[in-house]
């Protein structure tokens, strides 16, 4: 191999992100320097935050056209100039959309080969940790409570929902389309699912949760957040995990109608978090998540797209709701 195939973030989207915003590029094969390792990428995570990185500064610097598209991945060490990692090791890291990368060994996370690779990016990776800490530490669901999760058929949403079910809650998810709703109630054991694309979200939520909502795990913002705030119970918790309904927006949406009104009258705690806030406790979470998966109590839904050439389509498809569970591309 002499060529390193890459995807360049070529043009800033004005609205929906699509394949036209990326360009393929053949770069020379990188050589690892002192203390570095050469990694062959095997699986690349597709994440909604990629679109937010193009729009402006988030918890990381804004992506600029001309840069290699950023992204988290899993790969195999093929050469090493460090005693921290050796050829054959399975590692994860910030690889970007490219087939090979030379990185300082200290920036690589050694992964356990006993686990399925797709689970290392999904239920046992950032996705699972986000769901775990967001639901249990921020949402704090109690047995018998009602938990609503938006983006429930997605990577974080379907794990967060199943964790709430394990905590003894009634779990309701929102997603786009009847097929995905049936998948949530049929395959994943949700108590109910709401098709937010069918409209009437306030009415649907009132019918399914007449008792109100105690924890709302918000992956989407937008109209589902508005409807959820109107149905929150006293001392409810709103877990602000993400805002995918706004990532492609050209003008920022107004704030949710229930803020501050409902927050005050119902004493609601509305709290944002970033998974890295909890990273020092990740080993406890990973062990529990792995145990639940092994015992069959947690279904780690994964959606794998084959082929590095399909990276841009995979990202665009995520915003059209094509994925069920964790979306990743096999390189």
Binding site for ligand NAP (CB under 6 A): 47-49, 126-127, 130, 151, 153-157, 175-176, 180, 219-220, 222, 241-245, 273-275, 318-319, 321, 323, 327
HEC secondary structure over the chain: CCEEEEEEECCCCCCCCCHHHEEEEEEECCCCCCCEEEEEEEEEECCCHHHHHHHCCCCCCCCCCCCECCCEEEEEEEEECCCCCCCCCEEEEECCCECEEEEEHHHCEECCCCCCHHHHHCCCCHHHHHHHHHHHHHHCCCCCCEEEECCCCEHHHHHHHHHHHHCCCEEEEEECCHHHHHHHHHCCCCCEEEEHHHCCHHHHHHHHCCCCEEEEEECCCHHHHHHHHHHEEEEEEEEECCCHHHCCCCCCCCCCCCCCHHHHHCCCEEEECCHHHHHHHHHHHHHHHHHHHHCCCCCCCEEEEECHHHHHHHHHHHHCCCCCEEEEEEC
CB of 281 to ligand NAP, least distance (A): 14
CB of 307 to ligand NAP, least distance (A): 19
Q: Which is nearer to ligand NAP, 156 or 270 (CB)?
A: 156
Taking alpha carbons only, the member of 110, 129, 115 closest to residue 283 is 129
CB of 133 to ligand NAP, least distance (A): 8
Q: Which is nearer to ligand NAP, 30 or 272 (CB)?
A: 272
CB of 197 to ligand NAP, least distance (A): 7
Q: Which is nearer to ligand NAP, 77 or 136 (CB)?
A: 136
Q: Which is nearer to ligand NAP, 36 or 218 (CB)?
A: 218
CB of 187 to ligand NAP, least distance (A): 15
**Rounded to an integer, what distance in angstroms lies between the CA atom of residue 108 and that of residue 129?**
18
CB of 34 to ligand NAP, least distance (A): 34
Q: Which is nearer to ligand NAP, 32 or 125 (CB)?
A: 125
Q: Which is nearer to ligand NAP, 230 or 316 (CB)?
A: 316
Q: Which is nearer to ligand NAP, 165 or 180 (CB)?
A: 180
CB of 319 to ligand NAP, least distance (A): 5
């Amino acid at each position: 191999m002499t060529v390193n195939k890459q995807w360049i973030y070529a043009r800033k989207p004005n609205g929906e992100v699509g394949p036209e915003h990326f360009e393929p590029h053949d770069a020379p094969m990188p050589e690892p320097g002192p203390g570095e390792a050469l990694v062959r990428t095997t699986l690349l995570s597709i994440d909604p935050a990629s679109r937010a990185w193009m729009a402006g500064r988030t918890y990381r610097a804004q992506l600029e056209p001309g840069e290699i598209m950023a992204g988290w991945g899993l790969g195999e060490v093929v050469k090493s100039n460090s005693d921290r990692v050796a050829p054959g090791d399975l590692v994860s890291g910030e690889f970007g959309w490219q087939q090979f990368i030379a990185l300082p060994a200290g920036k690589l996370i050694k992964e356990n080969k006993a686990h399925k690779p797709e689970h290392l990016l999904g239920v046992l990776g950032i996705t699972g940790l986000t769901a775990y800490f967001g639901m249990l530490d921020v949402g704090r669901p109690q047995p018998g409570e009602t938990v609503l999760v938006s983006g429930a058929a997605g990577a974080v949403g379907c794990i967060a929902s199943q964790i709430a079910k394990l905590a003894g809650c009634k779990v309701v998810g929102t997603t786009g389309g009847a097929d995905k709703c049936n998948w949530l109630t049929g395959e994943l054991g949700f108590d109910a699912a709401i098709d937010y694309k069918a409209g009437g979200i306030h009415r649907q939520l009132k019918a399914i949760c007449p008792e109100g909502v105690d924890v709302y795990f918000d992956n989407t913002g937008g109209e589902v957040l508005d409807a959820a705030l109107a149905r929150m119970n006293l001392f409810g918790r709103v877990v602000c995990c993400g805002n995918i309904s706004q990532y492609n927006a050209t003008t920022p949406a107004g704030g949710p109608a229930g803020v501050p009104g409902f927050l005050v009258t119902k004493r609601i705690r509305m709290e944002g978090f970033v998974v890295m806030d909890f990273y020092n406790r990740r080993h406890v979470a990973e062990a529990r998540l792995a145990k639940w998966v092994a015992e069959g109590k947690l279904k780690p839904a994964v959606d794998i797209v084959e082929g590095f050439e399909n990276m841009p389509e995979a990202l665009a498809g995520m915003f059209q709701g094509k994925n069920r569970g964790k979306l990743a591309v096999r390189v």
